[in-house]
């Protein structure tokens, strides 16, 4: 099928994507549920030494690991005797574009240049757009950033609008679109028309770029404290942040468990025109974190390299009010002003630190820059203008899209545990729903790896799924 209609372009999406990322995903398919994940990750042929070298050429990486002594002391006030881990933060805002996403952008832009693409396109409303624009400026390459920006009234979130200005300042062309399916359609058409490289968040290049972050965390804790961290907390959205960090820790020989943290936006639909501007976080929330954890291949490439359920040891949620409060806490107690989305993991860490021994090392895996539109005051003001009630009280009483409740006291900041087995069952059900055939032994082994669970758990879940499907008719 040819032509520029929505249906025609969607029918060509796999062909367009294959040409735009320089990777033949079909080489790693089994014909069933399973695919060769590690083979796909090895395809670029980049080890940690090459990754670090590429990023160094872009002045990216080697960001400081800072101990938050004042916040640690505050957490210990609310902890039982002997509890209250030392909280450290990896200050990724020190990267040229202001976030950890510079790491994945550097590898993507490097690969695009090496493969001879005339330019780079990325579809993102957040920090990744600025990261790609920054790396393209350094590499002397053309860049287009496609944003999902406005609702049907023409109102855009202040953070997204600010990010557009930053991308343009870095030399990128910015295409701003309204909420809905036009984003992917326009993105595909631009890829096809320009022949540019797709700097997707979900290619092996992008996730390999974040491995350096995990590697650095392991090396820096050893250098500064003489041992590995006891726990690493990562803000989770599409899963690449957690996946890359965990893989980097493993590459460094560090077995520290990695915990996912997301802002609880349950009840809000991310693609809803009415609800688009009633959320105060454009990333790091459950609207991305949950669906991408339970089905990673909903991304813009045939197989996502971000597969967080393989690597997470736990998943916790925090409220919007708790994150805004923690953002103020970081500024007031440590003199470090950083953006709210990156502080999602810090809010969870403040709570989790109170459950760990005082000698434990808890690493908050990243920060992000803040600015006019990304600042918590701008976000709260925008929420209020959209009819969201801002109050001080018990964060447990918040209703996403209707209220943001700032804690009255730091003791009210709580990391709420998510049932990982529920997420595992959901992933297996999604995998079953995407195929007609009964799973093979290879599929079951794959799903065991995919969910970090025993094969017996996978088989039981499949049997229950088939039984429920049979009963439903």
Confidence of residue 129 (pLDDT cuts 50, 70, 90): very high
In this structure, the answer to whether residues 161 and 231 fall within a common structural domain is no
Residues 113 and 31 reside in one and the same domain: yes
Weakest mean pLDDT among 3-7, 113-117, 213-217: 3-7
For residue 1, being part of any structural domain is answered with: no
**% pLDDT > 70, the chain:** 99
Contact call for residues 373 and 162 (beta carbons, < 8 A): yes
> Of 21, 16, 196, which is closest to residue 117 (Cα–Cα)?
196
Angle between helices 69-77 and 320-334 (to 10 degrees): 120
347 and 446 co-located in one domain: no
The single-letter DSSP state of residue 85 is P
Q: Which of 121, 139, 134 has its CA nearest to residue 54?
A: 139
> Any residues with CB less than 8 A from the CB of 472 and at least 6 apart, and which?
none
* Listed ranges 184-188, 234-238, 373-377; the one with the highest mean pLDDT: 234-238
Is residue 39 a contact partner of residue 221, using CB atoms and an 8 Å limit?
A: no
Please tell me the distance from the alpha carbon of residue 238 to that of residue 299, in angstroms, as a whole number.
Answer: 9
pLDDT digits (tens, 9 = 90+) for 103-112: 999 999 999 9
User: Do 149 and 33 lie in a common domain?
Assistant: yes
- Report the percent of the chain where pLDDT is more than 90: 83
What is the number of domains present in the chain?
A: 3
pLDDT in tens, 182-228: 888 999 999 999 999 999 999 999 999 999 999 999 999 999 999 99
Higher pLDDT, 313 or 4: 313
> Is the alpha carbon torsion for 48, 49, 53, 59 positive or negative?
positive
313 and 368 in a single domain? The answer is yes
User: Which residues form the domain of 408?
Assistant: 53-96+205-417
Whether residues 132 and 161 share a domain: the answer is yes
Distance CA 125, CA 288 (A): 13
Residue 349 falls inside a structural domain: yes
Q: List strand residue ranges (DSSP E) for 280-388, in order.
A: 312-318, 361-364
Mean local confidence (pLDDT), 465-471: 82
CB 33 within 8 A of CB 450: no
C-beta separation of 365 from 232 below 8 A: yes
pLDDT confidence tier of residue 468, bands split at 50, 70 and 90: confident
Can you tell me the distance from the alpha carbon of 132 to that of 125, in angstroms, rounded to the nearest whole number? 12
What pLDDT is attached to residue 86?
A: 98
Radius of gyration of the chain (CA): 22
CATH number at residue 33: 3.40.50.1100
Residue that finishes a domain, picked among 204, 226, 256? 204
Mean pLDDT, rounded, for 422-430:
97
pLDDT band at 273 (very low <50, low <70, confident <90, very high): confident
| 372 and 433 in a common domain | no
CA distances from 158 to 14, 346, 465 (A): 34, 23, 43
A 10 A CB-CB count for 385 gives 10
Q: Over the stretch 38-74, which tens digit does the pLDDT of each residue have?
A: 999 999 999 999 999 999 999 999 999 999 999 999 9
Note the pLDDT of residue 332: 98
**Are both 374 and 326 inside the same structural domain?**
yes
* Residue 294 within a domain: yes
Q: How far apart are CA 92 and CA 195, in angstroms?
A: 32
Instruction: Point out which residues pair with 392 in neighbouring strands.
Output: 406
Is pLDDT above 80 for 271?
A: no
Distance CA 231, CA 409 (A): 25
DSSP designation for 150: E
Q: Which of 297, 336, 444 is nearest to 91 (CA)?
A: 336
Distance in angstroms (rounded) separating the CA atoms of residues 287 and 284: 8
Is there a single domain that holds both residue 454 and residue 310? Answer: no
DSSP assignment of 409-454 equals SGGG--PEEP-HHHHHHHHHHHHHHT-SSPPPHHHHHHHHHHHTS-
> Average model confidence (pLDDT) for the chain?
94
Predicted local confidence at residue 473, as pLDDT: 62
Q: Is 112 among the domain residues?
A: yes
Q: Which tokens hold the place of 155?
A: 């109102």
Alpha-carbon distance of 250 to 248, in angstroms, equals: 5
Nearest to 200 by CA among 332, 319, 22: 22
Q: Same domain for 182 and 285?
A: no
Distance from chain centroid for Cα 284: 6
* Average pLDDT of the segment spanning 5-17: 89
Asked if residue 1 has pLDDT above 70, the reply is no
Q: Which residue has the tokens 């049979």?
A: 470
Q: What is the pLDDT of residue 300?
A: 87
Determine the Cα–Cα distance for residues 367 and 143; give it in Å rounded to an integer.
Answer: 25
Distance from C-alpha of 213 to C-alpha of 199, rounded to nearest angstrom? 19
Helix or strand holding residue 56 (H, E): helix 48-57
CA 262 centroid distance within chain: 9
Q: Are 438 and 463 contacting, i.e. CB atoms less than 8 angstroms apart?
A: no
For residue range 133-169, what is the model confidence (pLDDT) as tens digits? 999 999 999 999 999 888 888 898 899 999 999 999 9
Pick from 147, 170, 204: which residue ends a domain? 204
- State whether 122 and 192 are in the same domain: yes
CA 142 to the chain's CA centroid: 25
Are 105 and 247 in the same domain?
no
Q: Which of 417, 445, 463 is the last residue of a domain?
A: 417
Residue with tokens 């708790």: 322
Q: What is the mean pLDDT of residues 252-280?
A: 91
Number of other CB atoms surrounding residue 372 within 10 Å: 12
Q: Name 363's bridge partners.
A: 88, 232
Report the predicted TM-score, pTM, of the whole model to 2 decimal places: 0.96
Mean pLDDT of 352-366: 98
């Amino acid at each position: 099928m040819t032509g520029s209609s929505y249906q025609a372009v969607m029918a060509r999406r796999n062909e367009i994507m294959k040409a735009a990322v320089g990777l033949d995903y079909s080489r790693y398919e089994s014909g069933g549920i399973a695919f060769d994940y590690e083979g796909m990750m090895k395809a670029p042929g980049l080890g940690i030494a090459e990754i670090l070298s590429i990023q160094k050429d872009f002045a990216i990486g080697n960001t400081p690991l800072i101990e938050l002594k004042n916040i640690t002391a505050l957490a210990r006030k609310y902890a039982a005797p002997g509890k209250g881990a030392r909280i450290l933060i990896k200050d990724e805002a020190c990267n040229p574009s202001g976030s950890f996403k510079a790491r994945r952008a550097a590898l993507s832009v490097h690969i695009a240049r090496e493969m001879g693409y005339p330019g780079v396109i990325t579809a993102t409303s957040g920090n990744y757009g600025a990261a790609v624009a920054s790396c393209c400026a350094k590499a002397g390459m053309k860049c287009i950033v496609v944003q999902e920006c406005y609702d049907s009234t023409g109102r855009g979130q202040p953070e997204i609008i600010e990010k557009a200005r930053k991308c343009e300042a870095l030399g990128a062309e910015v295409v701003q679109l309204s909420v809905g399916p036009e984003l992917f359609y326009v993105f595909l058409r631009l890829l096809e028309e320009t022949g540019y490289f797709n700097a997707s968040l979900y290619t092996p290049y992008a996730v390999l770029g974040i491995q350096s972050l995990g590697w650095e965390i392991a090396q820096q804790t050893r250098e500064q404290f003489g041992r590995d961290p006891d726990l690493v907390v990562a803000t989770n959205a599409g899963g690449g942040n957690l996946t890359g960090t965990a893989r980097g820790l493993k590459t460094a020989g560090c077995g520290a468990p990695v915990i996912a943290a997301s802002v609880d936006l349950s009840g809000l639909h991310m693609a809803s025109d009415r609800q688009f501007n009633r959320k105060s976080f454009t990333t790091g929330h459950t609207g991305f974190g949950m669906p991408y954890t339970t089905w990673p291949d909903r991304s813009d490439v045939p197989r996502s390299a971000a597969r967080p359920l393989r690597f997470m040891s736990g998943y916790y949620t925090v409220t919007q009010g708790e994150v805004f409060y923690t953002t103020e806490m970081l500024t007031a107690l440590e003199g470090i002003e950083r953006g709210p989305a990156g502080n999602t993991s810090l809010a969870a860490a403040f709570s989790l630190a109170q459950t760990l021994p005082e000698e434990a090392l808890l690493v908050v895996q990243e920060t992000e820059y803040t600015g006019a539109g990304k600042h918590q005051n701008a976000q709260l003001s925008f929420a209020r203008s959209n009819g969201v009630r801002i109050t001080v009280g018990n964060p447990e009483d918040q209703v996403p899209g209707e209220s943001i409740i700032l804690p009255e006291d730091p003791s009210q900041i709580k990391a709420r545990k998510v049932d990982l087995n529920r997420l595992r069952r959901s992933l297996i059900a999604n995998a079953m729903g995407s195929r007609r055939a009964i799973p093979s032994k290879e599929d079951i082994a794959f799903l065991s790896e995919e969910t970090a669970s025993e094969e017996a758990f996978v088989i039981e879940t499949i049997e229950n799924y088939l039984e429920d499907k049979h009963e439903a008719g």
